[in-house]
């Protein structure tokens, strides 16, 4: 067994020098000559996986993102390394280093990848909606269907300010205020927050 420690870094821009990542790996007692840097097709990662790493070696990476965003590729790569007796150590994803069993660790890795994939999709949806035009009522409109998108804003009840004033001054309870405005408790609190922000007041509810 070699019992050598290797480091792997992936960069999007091949012209950048990832000093932070290099220093982070060298702090793990990895010789700089054993740190492989990729951009593009991950040829160095494939070489590490298929040719360089031997049983008993350890591959250290900053986080799961260094292996890519393709869930199947990441899982297949890590499983291939595990099956060869090669340890993968994540500096920032410490929860992935906790299990001694391959199946348990693979499950943790898959859960993390799914979570990150869902987060990217949500952010993509948010970014896409932010690019949509706004109509005269301040509601975003789909460029494809020309229809309003998103949840419509709840209109402030006509008696809200009157009820709010009584509630804030302690003349009525929250239950009374909710009943008088016809709002849900959570909606009432949200509307109070928005109203106080609009008039330059900020109070703890």
Give tens-digit pLDDT for 52-102.
Answer: 999 999 999 999 989 987 888 999 999 999 999 999 999 988 888 877 677
Q: Is 94 in the same domain as 178?
A: no
Sign of the CA dihedral with 139 first, then 145, 150, and 151 last = positive
Of 197 and 9, more confident? 9
Look over the chain and give the mean of its residue pLDDT values, rounded to a whole number. 82
Sign of the CA dihedral with 135 first, then 138, 139, and 140 last = positive
Q: Is 13 in the same domain as 93?
A: yes
CB 36 within 8 A of CB 6: yes
Determine the Cα–Cα distance for residues 178 and 166; give it in Å rounded to an integer: 12
On the question of pLDDT at 148 being above 90, the answer is: no
pLDDT at 150: 54
Structural domains in the chain (count): 2
Q: Is 172 in the same domain as 98?
A: no
Q: Is 11 in the same domain as 79?
A: yes
- Please check whether residue 155 lies inside any domain of the structure: no
- Please check whether residue 95 lies inside any domain of the structure: yes
Determine the Cα–Cα distance for residues 84 and 82; give it in Å rounded to an integer: 5
pTM over 0.75: no
Q: Which of 103, 126, 149 marks a domain boundary?
A: 126
pLDDT at 196: 82
pLDDT in tens, 90-141: 998 888 887 767 777 788 888 888 877 777 676 654 455 455 565 544 556 5
Range of the domain at 175: 160-198
Q: CB burial class (10 A; 0-12, 13-18, 19+) of residue 190?
A: middle
- Quickly count: other Cβ atoms within 10 Å of residue 3's Cβ: 9
> Which two tokens mark 45?
């990662």
């Amino acid at each position: 067994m070699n019992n050598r420690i290797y480091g792997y870094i992936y960069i999007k821009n091949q012209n950048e020098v990832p000093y932070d990542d290099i220093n982070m790996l060298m702090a793990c007692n990895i010789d700089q000559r054993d740190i492989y840097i990729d951009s593009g097709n991950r040829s160095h990662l494939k070489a590490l996986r298929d040719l360089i790493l031997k049983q008993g070696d350890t591959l250290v990476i900053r986080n799961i993102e260094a292996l890519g965003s393709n869930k199947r590729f990441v899982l297949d790569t890590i499983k291939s390394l595990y099956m060869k007796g090669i340890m993968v150590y994540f500096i920032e994803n410490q929860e992935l280093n906790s299990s001694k069993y391959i199946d348990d660790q693979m499950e943790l890795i898959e859960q993390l990848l799914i979570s990150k994939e869902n987060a990217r999709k949500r952010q993509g949806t948010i970014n896409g909606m932010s690019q949509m035009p706004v109509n005269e009522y301040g509601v975003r409109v789909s460029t494809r269907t020309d229809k309003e998108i998103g949840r419509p804003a709840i209109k402030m009840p006509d008696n809200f300010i009157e009820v709010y004033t009584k509630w804030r001054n302690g003349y009525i309870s929250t239950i009374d205020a909710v009943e008088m405005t016809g709002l849900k408790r959570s909606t009432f609190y949200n509307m109070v927050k928005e109203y106080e922000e609009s008039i330059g007041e900020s109070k703890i509810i």
